[in-house]
Amino acid sequence: MPMGHTATAQAGSGGLTATEHRLANGLRVVLSEDHLTPVAAVCLWYDVGSRHEVKGRTGLAHLFEHLMFQGSGQVKGNGHFELVQGAGGSLNGTTSFERTNYFETMPTHQLELALWLEADRMGSLLAALDEESMENQRDVVKNERRQRYDNVPYGTAFERLTALAYPEGHPYHHTPIGSMADLDAATLDDARSFFRTNYAPNNAVLSVVGDIDPEQTLAWIEKYFGTIPSHDGKQPPRDGSLPEVIGGELREEVHEEVPARALMAAYRLPHDGTRECDAADLALTVLGGGESSRLHNRLVRRDRTAVAAGFGLLRLAGAPSLGWLDVKTSGGVEVAQIEAAVDEELARFAEEGPSPEEMERAQAQLEREWLDRLGTVAGRADELCRFAVLFGDPQLALSAVHRVLDVTAGEVRAAARAQLRPDNRAVLVYEPVESAEPADEAETDAADDTDAHEGADK
């Protein structure tokens, strides 16, 4: 049986506990009992994302996320979806800069099925991976890129801003979707090598949360995952460190068919997992987190120069995080007017910091978001995996709320003063252009229906 230890409830965890175990092949296992409802969540994080890719082969991590739903040694075609949904469960997978995850939420009595399915594709996916499935999913991913990036208003904003914020050659310079050229260039051998290197038990964390019997759950995990061999050929990701401040504003103007002018910006912020990152999160929440925020009150309510104004945080562990500003203008308002108001509000905040009421409201908002995540079996399973993969300790997930509430107003002000500055941002300005040939109604309807049949689309 696996070796492991039992954790006691930590301060700030709300009484939640988790136990940690490790199989002989290196698979890390995290279990958390919750008998409130008769369901169990299975979450599997692989320590591979777009930051592990090399130039000329971007998009492989995301492509492989799709390939993992195309059959394995004992499950053919779309069988993974069919078996889980037929048992009353739900499932999906996602890819980011820093990881690829797969997850199921099942009725308790179907937990064994989910574990068997995940083990089967971890241990035997190469038995089913062929040119046909490769071409099929290559086309699906390319179509996803068209629908979600290339052919929608502001669709390439995230890609453009990350390319500005992280210099050429940086592991976060490209986004997980990858480029069309690289997707076309990927070969079956590339995919097989990628799987062997990254989809090994010693490169993964498995969490199971919910109405479980830990002893029985561990027995199933050992039975299905224990014989899968480890792999030692993976190289660490390239160094993602950068100076704390960009040192000068980076700017790009985009002329496209968009509904309104827009100002978007990415500010370089502290790495995830640090107290400074939590302070920055609170600063962004006060400034742009909802309808009570400073930017919404200034731009949307008072000045009426914008129809939407928000500020959010993209947390990253292996590179500086990004503070993401997104403002859509109202009517014919010029972006320069919006930008001047934003800079005025950021400068005032850096000088004054948050008021006691703003601090209390921001901490309550982030506390609620954390408790919402930890309060569901699927959300808790995901967070336990995240902290295990990115920070080496799943127990940190259970005390994250406490760490946010421990940040002071002075630290929030210091975070804003240090990094919410014009010389520490990449800026994207959208200017609308007229369509030369407007699409007719039939063409628009057809475009809206393109992904209706893609049950496995992620």
| Buried/exposed 405-415: b ≥16 CB within 10 Å, e otherwise | eebebebbbbb
* Coil, helix or strand at residue 334: coil
- Distance (Å, rounded) from C-alpha 29 to C-alpha 22? 6
Q: Do the beta carbons of residue 325 and residue 311 sit within 8 Å?
A: yes
Confidence of residue 202 (pLDDT cuts 50, 70, 90): very high
Q: Which neighbouring-strand residues pair with 255? A: 431
Which pTM does this prediction carry?
0.91
Positive or negative: CA dihedral 449, 452, 456, 458: positive
Known active-site residue 65: yes
Q: Give the residue among 384, 314, 362 at the shortest CA–CA distance from 161.
A: 314
- Provide mean pLDDT across the span 132-153: 93
Distance of CA 304 to the CA centre of its chain: 32
Q: Do the beta carbons of residue 422 and residue 245 sit within 8 Å?
A: no
> If you compute the radius of gyration of the chain from its CA atoms, what whole number of angstroms results?
23
Confidence of residue 58 (pLDDT cuts 50, 70, 90): very high
Q: What is the predicted pLDDT for the residue at 1?
A: 39
Show contacts of 150-159: CB within 8 Å, 24+ apart: 151/447, 153/256, 153/257, 153/258, 153/259, 154/258, 154/262, 154/264, 154/430, 156/254, 157/262, 157/264, 157/428, 157/430
For residue 52, pLDDT beyond 70: yes
Q: What is the predicted pLDDT for the residue at 14?
A: 60
Q: What is the predicted pLDDT for the residue at 15?
A: 80
Percent of the chain with pLDDT over 70: 92
- Helical packing angle, 131-145 and 188-198, nearest 10°: 90
Q: 355 versus 8: which is more confidently predicted? A: 355
For residue 368, pLDDT beyond 90: yes
Encode pLDDT of 100-123 as tens digits. 999 999 999 999 999 999 999 999
Confidence of residue 255 (pLDDT cuts 50, 70, 90): very high
Question: Of 65, 104, 144, 345, which residue is the catalytic one?
Answer: 65
Q: What is the predicted pLDDT for the residue at 206?
A: 98
Amino acid at 268: R
